[in-house]
Amino acid sequence: MKKALFPGSFDPITLGHVDIIKRAYDLFDEIVIGIGTNSTKQNMFSVEQRRRWIEETFKDYPKISVSFYSDLTVKFCQEINAQYIIRGLRDTKDFEFEKSIGQMNRELENSVETIYLITDPALSAINASIVRDIIKHGGDISKFVPKAVKP
């Protein structure tokens, strides 16, 4: 069985995240969307709220589940028996950052393979940091997030 983890803070989940997950769906027998703790980020939304948004967005996708974790991503992969980590790439900046993380994860646990998917060009400008900024300033985020996200 091919099991993958799609890790992130999902604060909030965006249409870019949704695109990557939907495209990965047929590649794996199971996908766990892992809401991770990032010590460098201040979250706007609670873990419970983010979980609800993700579960609502993927309620019709039986191979998808949502979990929370606070350890190293590769350790969480071992805990849930995931052999793959899914990551989305928007641009060359993402590539360089994700390449470094992927290489470090491989050093830590070589049984976990990182799979990179290129973001749909129409969604490449969307990121959760910008969406949070729009929310903070009272803007309309409906074009950037799934319908389940209602801050």
Q: What is the pLDDT of residues 98-143, one digit of tens each?
A: 999 999 999 999 999 999 999 999 999 999 999 999 999 999 999 9
Say how many domains are in the chain.
Answer: 1
Quick check: 41 pLDDT over 80?
no
Question: What is the CATH classification number for the domain harbouring 103?
Answer: 3.40.50.620
24: containing domain: 3-136
In a domain, 7, yes or no: yes
Q: How far apart are the first and last CA of the chain?
A: 36
In a domain, 150, yes or no: no
Quick check: 38 pLDDT over 80?
no
Task: Label residue 62 exposed, middle or buried (CB < 10 Å: 0-12, 13-18, 19+).
Answer: exposed
The pLDDT, as a whole number, for residue 42 is: 83
The predicted model gives 3-20 an average pLDDT of: 97
CA-closest candidate to residue 128, choices 111, 147, 113, 141: 141
Q: What is the DSSP letter of 142?
A: T
In a domain, 59, yes or no: yes
In a domain, 131, yes or no: yes
pLDDT tens digits, residue range 47-95? 999 999 999 999 999 999 999 999 999 999 999 999 999 999 999 999 9
In a domain, 141, yes or no: no
In a domain, 37, yes or no: yes
Angstrom CA distances, 108 to 27, 60, 145, 151, stand at: 24, 34, 33, 37
Residues 65, 113, 38, 16, CA torsion sign: negative
In a domain, 147, yes or no: no
d(CA 67, CA 42): 19
Confidence of residue 37 (pLDDT cuts 50, 70, 90): confident
In a domain, 47, yes or no: yes
Q: What is the DSSP letter of 123?
A: G
